[in-house]
Structure 1
């Protein structure tokens, strides 16, 4: 049996950048992948946190990500998200490649957001960005947003001031006017991106202006959220897949439990946005809530494997 390829974080970053990964996700949706058809994520509590099992199959490939979520790791100087991705031949399930699972997540999650941003934000002017968080996903989302939109200013809102200043400094190295700021600056934002470990709303949703877009990616837990009920009620809501969102997205499930919205409040999914079937309404905020799905990992892992084989 041929030894599977091993793709580490540095190799993956060299093979594909944010724009290319975003296009990969759009292409698989246009090819007919149904995000609602995949199996649900399996979550198993363990002493260190949580183990996640995420299998998927599409086209000529199959794969599974085993991810660890270890909340105590950052204080030890270790990543909060760990794991590996095993890519398989779809016909006989032979192992083809083993990928760094944390690096794969750091590539695909911002690309999912960028795909939504590309559909939900105007392309005719630079955007004012407010970015919550200062971890790996915040860096990845900054780069992914810049791959699809011009940014007039980036305001970083972070729990730890040192981390916020570091991210703002990094943004300036990319040619973006950037600084740290406060949550109420969402009132002036065209785009708000939330990639934190928060369990309660990060800002007052009534401050978000009509026509602004909010992207929330931080949680896949039914009781955790980054946005409040006021924002959800006001917004046209878009998700990766209705089934996953109504199973895992606390940003939506908490308002549902409160009786503020029903399941039909979701205006469309990512496939609708890519196909142009869900035109964002004028005069309302747009909220894209992501929980992370196995089909995304498979799509990106497949593209990385093909790129590695051809390089």
Structure 2
């Protein structure tokens, strides 16, 4: 197949082919199958003037793939996405390219899907109050993903920009959610707290989080940035995608360990949680700390390609 023959799937194609519930199932099926996140190649970062270039390769099953992503912190002020990406999917046997997919759409799908896969094993069937920190695609995507696996009650959106928070709440109301703008104090009554921000320091006092609550933190993916404080990390069952990845990229984990509040050996790999070999400890909050890994993109890209090709 020549480059000109490659099918190119847009964001609308990808999002239309894979509902959030299907993306969650793809993540769980990968973890129940041959995928071991510990075998995934480390994400490569290249610092340039405008931000970062990221290379995220993975292989498994019938396909291999590479996401080429950029992070440009100044883009939102220009009206452009902070994160942009393209994804190249290859046949695993021949390593021939089979498709190009919108990588940003894959990120929008797979990150909430991974969080929802963790939440499926950490939360009750009904969530009376969901508090979301973050007004970007990941904030809304987490509501959609959690809504695909759980019955949601009240949804509160918390953001630094009140206009953006109100706009996201309005969009969610249009989808049928009971959504409104909330405040930091809402974490006191939250069943689930989503942290999907670019914050460098903790978003709230971790002591406010209830013992039976679950926190899904995915915003920080550098070792010196965090969304959660050491107190919360130290008193919680902490689930990570992979121990080594968490030590490289998860500031919430790295900084809590440096403070002496968390022992990395006590964290629970997501694969063990999904396969039932580990569970959350009763009487303690649960925290899922995700940074995003290459196998997740491949799992969702494979499903998207199969569905789009058959259609």
Deviation at 1:81, TM superposition (A): 0.5
User: d(CA) in 2 for partners of 1:261 and 1:150?
Assistant: 32
Shift of 1:76: 0.4
Alignment of structure 1 residues 83-232 onto 2, 5 Å: 83-123=85-125, 125-232=126-233
- Mapped to 1, the partners of 2:190 and 2:205 lie a distance apart of 13
Distance of 2:298 and 2:121 partners within structure 1: 22
1:299 paired to 2:264:
no
TM-score by length of 2: 0.97
CA contact (8 A) 2:127 2:191 kept: no
Q: Is the 8 A contact 2:66 2:88 kept in 1?
A: yes
Q: Quick check: 1:277 aligned with 2:281?
A: no
Aligned-residue Cα RMSD (Å) equals: 1.0
Query: Which residue in the other structure is 1:65 paired with?
Result: 67
CA distance, structure 2, for counterparts of residue 279 and residue 38 of structure 1: 23
Once the two structures are TM-superposed, the CA of residue 282 in structure 1 deviates from its matched residue by: 1.1
**1:195, CA displacement in angstroms?**
0.4
Q: CA–CA distance in 1 between the matches of 2:244 and 2:15?
A: 31
Q: Identify the residue that residue 253 of structure 1 maps to in structure 2.
A: 254
| 3-state SS in 2 of match to 1:119 | coil
Are the aligned partners of 1:127 and 1:149 in contact in 2 as well (CA < 8 Å)?
no
Task: Tell me the SS of whatever aligns to 1:159.
Answer: coil
Unaligned runs of 5+ in 1: none
Aligned twin of 2:79: 77
- The equivalent position to 2:45 in structure 1, one of 37, 43, 46, is 43
- Matched-pair contact (CA < 8 Å) for 1:184–1:204: no
**C-alpha offsets along residues 234-278 of structure 1, whole Å, 9 cap, x if unaligned?**
100001111211111000101112222222131x12111211111
User: 1:95-138 CA deviation, whole Å, 9 max, x = no partner?
Assistant: 11111111111111010011011110011x34310000100111
Aligned residues: 309
Report the Cα distance in structure 2 between the residues aligned to 1:256 and 1:58, rounded to whole angstroms: 32
Aligned structure 1 segments of 4 or more residues deviating by more than 6 angstroms: none
Distance (Å, rounded) in 2 between the aligned partners of 1:19 and 1:12: 14
TM-aligned CA deviation for residue 182 of structure 1:
1.3
Structure 2's unaligned 5+ residue stretches are: none
